[in-house]
Amino acid sequence: MMSIISSDLFLIVLTIGLFLLSGEIFRRTRLMLLHPVLLTAVAVIVFLKLAGIEYAHYKQSVAILDFALGMSVVALGYLMYEQVERLKSATLPVLGATIVGCIVGIGLVVGIALCFGMERDIITSIAPKSVTVPIAIAISEPRGGVVAVTSVVVFCTGVLGSICGAKLLSLCGVKDPMARGFALGAASHGIGTARAIELGAVEGAMSGLAMALTGFGTAVLLPIVEKYLY
């Protein structure tokens, strides 16, 4: 029995099944704490703990899902290609929004953390909260950040942005699809981009672009902020 539940096929099917089930639960309840990504992660953790399966084994078993996730990110390029004329017309606003967004995003997090007297390693860990996990880890770890803290903060930021981002933008009167998509991608990286794609092709393309530019901008600006602010 143990060999079956720890097999690669079982763990892959389990992960996909839990995500589909979590998605259905979220669609029926619309409760923030039951977001499919969050609910699936918790369910997988509980299962691995009860079954006594090491995370390293699970990660190796579902490596194909990691590969598929990477391919899905690459596929965002097609959305951007479809909207290339719109993107060309908004080059300056996009670059300006990227710079301002990165500065404000990093500055607010660092400023609040300093006000609460947080240690340097924690500040470094949470500063890249708005970029996708691989980039955030690559930014924070070499500077002494805690990988686990970075991963959790980035994950929570993405889930929160996916759930509340579109509603918050509507409340603020932001109706332009390019602005809405860019905001979701800049603030909530991949999970926010998944939500933007649901809103429309323009939103998805802008969100994918914002995710890439914010990752690059944060990687460039964070060392400067680190040098002068903490």
Domain boundaries, given as residue ranges, for the chain: 2-61, 76-229
pLDDT given at position 191: 87
pTM of the model: 0.81
pLDDT band at 13 (very low <50, low <70, confident <90, very high): very high
User: What distance in Å separates the CA atoms of residue 75 and residue 26, rounded to the nearest whole number?
Assistant: 25
C-alpha angle 98/103/105, rounded to 5°? 90
Which secondary-structure segment (H or E) carries 105?
helix 91-115
Whether 207 and 196 have beta carbons less than 8 Å apart is answered as yes
Give me the pLDDT at residue 230, please: 60
Helix (H, G, I), strand (E, B) or coil at 65: helix
Name 83's Cβ contacts closer than 8 Å, sequence gap at least 6.
201, 202, 205, 206
Lowest model confidence (mean pLDDT) among 88-102, 164-178, 192-206, 216-230: 216-230
State pLDDT tens for residues 103-139.
Answer: 888 888 888 988 998 888 899 999 999 888 888 988 8
75 vs 57: which has the higher pLDDT: 57
In tens, the pLDDT along 196-207 reads 988 888 898 899
**Percent of the chain whose predicted confidence (pLDDT) is above 90:** 28
**What pLDDT does 227 receive?**
74
Residue 198, phi then psi, degrees to nearest 5: -65, -30
Indicate the residue type of 79.
Answer: L
* Cβ burial 92-107 (10 Å sphere, 16+ → b, else e): eebeebbeebbeebbe
- In three-state secondary structure terms, 131 is coil
DSSP class per residue in 20-41: HHHHHHHHHH--GGG-HHHHHH
- Is the CB of residue 34 less than 8 Å from the CB of residue 25? yes
Mean pLDDT of the chain: 87
